[in-house]
Amino acid sequence: MLAALCAHPKSQALCARAGQVVLAAAVQQRPEVLSGPQVIELGEQPLEPIARAEAQTEFGNLVEVLDEGATSPTHWLLLDAAVALHVARSWPLGGAATLVSQLVWLAGATPCNPWTLLDDCLESASAEQLWQEATAQVPAASATVQLGIALAVVGATSPAAVAFKDALCRASAVPAVRQVLENGQITGALSGEVGRRRPAAWSTALGAVTGWLLLRGLARLTARYLLGARRVGELRVERQCVTLIQRRRLLGREFSERRTTLPLQSLTQLTRETRFVGMGIYFGLLSLCVGTLVGMGLVVDSVRVAGGSPSLLTSGLLIILAGLVLDFVLSSLARYRTGKTSVLIVPQRGRPLVLDRVPSADADAWLRKLSALSALTR
């Protein structure tokens, strides 16, 4: 996104317009200006002139976003990038203390968080004063603001930014902030195989009737065990975004890699789905029913035979006992078998992220931390 804005023919005017509006909203502490069609006074400073037709980017029209409000995570990231570039190009803007207080307010009161890209835009030599001022102001902010800024700057590499992270890690009283800055992330990576969301019931029924499920299953088994086809995935939390790193492998060789990123603010559903967890119980009930039915039939036949039939009676009782034992064993095993676990992450827009074959304990711990983090960043 930074590269797209830098390469835009009207990059200077475009980012200046965004910086004027966003920072004016911070000065007046009016978050509604950035999320809806609101009017804001800029004082004596004239608004940077740029036509709406000249503000189109591959991520949306920035002037439209400023005039009508940001309505999607992509719009907020576009504002982040534009404001970060404006700050870098216009630095210093009325002193470091004023600018940092505005950026801190944005991180806490709006989804706009220019800290995410600030280190990538600022030159190390000129940014030292800003990071020093951030060291003085950020530890006194709320826990939500500290965590949002920590997640945004966790990947920063300039010496001044690294010094700020070290100082914030020592001064912060928020455990999640210290964990982010010490480990580089609040949650570890979650590994598994990339899957797809479970189809609707009618689609599954149609595939079973037409034979498509059988053909697809055979094709997947062939690709998996004969060609060694795998889609290995890894879920990470990086800079207030969930990233899925997908690697395709064939015959033991990796031939492609793809990264999919979703902002934390866009997540609407986090789910762990365990498949086949009740299979032991179902087979146990089936064995109990079959054993009872067949065994009782033999017991009844043994009574009907003239003089009785000890062999039929014994066989019937043994079959009933075998059904009971199988039911007990399979039901007991079901308590300790967790099945195949899938992690499902659904955004407001776009395809969901699905990671299969994940250990249940790892999935539960990772999703708990991600849920808490997503709630804090809203």
Burial of 60 (0-12, 13-18, 19+ CB in 10 A): middle
Q: Which residue has the higher pLDDT, 292 or 364?
A: 292
CA distance between the termini of the chain: 22
| Torsion angle, alpha carbons of 259, 265, 269, 273, to 10 | 40
At residue 370, does pLDDT exceed 80? no
Q: How far apart are CA 348 and CA 346, in angstroms?
A: 7
At residue 233, does pLDDT exceed 60? yes
Question: What mean pLDDT is reported for the chain?
Answer: 81
Report domain extents, the chain.
2-183, 190-276+339-376, 279-336
Which residues make beta-bridge pairs with 273?
342
pLDDT digits (tens, 9 = 90+) for 239-254: 667 888 888 888 878 8
Model confidence at 220, pLDDT cuts 50, 70, 90, reads confident
pLDDT digits (tens, 9 = 90+) for 257-310: 888 878 777 778 888 877 666 666 777 788 888 888 888 888 888 888 777 788
Burial of 59 (0-12, 13-18, 19+ CB in 10 A): middle
**Which of 2.30.29.180, 3.90.600.10, 3.40.640.10, 2.60.40.10 would CATH assign to domain 190-276+339-376?**
2.30.29.180
pLDDT digits (tens, 9 = 90+) for 118-174: 888 877 656 788 888 888 888 888 888 888 888 888 877 888 888 888 888 888 888
pLDDT digits (tens, 9 = 90+) for 70-128: 888 788 888 888 888 888 888 765 577 888 888 888 888 888 888 888 888 877 656 78
pLDDT confidence of residue 108: 85
At residue 375, does pLDDT exceed 80? no
60, 12 contact by CB (below 8 A): no
Q: What is the phi/psi pair of residue 249, to 5°?
A: -125, 145
pLDDT confidence of residue 78: 87
pLDDT confidence of residue 337: 57
Share of residues in the chain with pLDDT > 90 (%): 0
Which of these ranges, 17-21, 190-194, 366-370, has the smallest mean pLDDT? 366-370
Average pLDDT over residues 24-42: 82
pLDDT confidence of residue 186: 53
Nearest one of 214, 270, 213 to 242, comparing CA atoms: 270
pLDDT confidence of residue 151: 80
Residues 6+ apart with CB under 8 A from 290: 323
At residue 188, does pLDDT exceed 60? yes
Long-range contacts of 319-323 (CB under 8 A, 24+ apart): 319/291, 319/294, 319/295, 320/291, 320/292, 320/295, 320/296, 321/291, 321/295, 322/287, 322/291, 323/287, 323/288, 323/289, 323/290, 323/291, 323/292, 323/295
Dihedral sign computed on CA atoms, order 328, 331, 334, 335:
negative
pLDDT confidence of residue 183: 65
Average pLDDT over residues 30-42: 79
Q: How far apart are CA 189 and CA 235, in angstroms?
A: 6
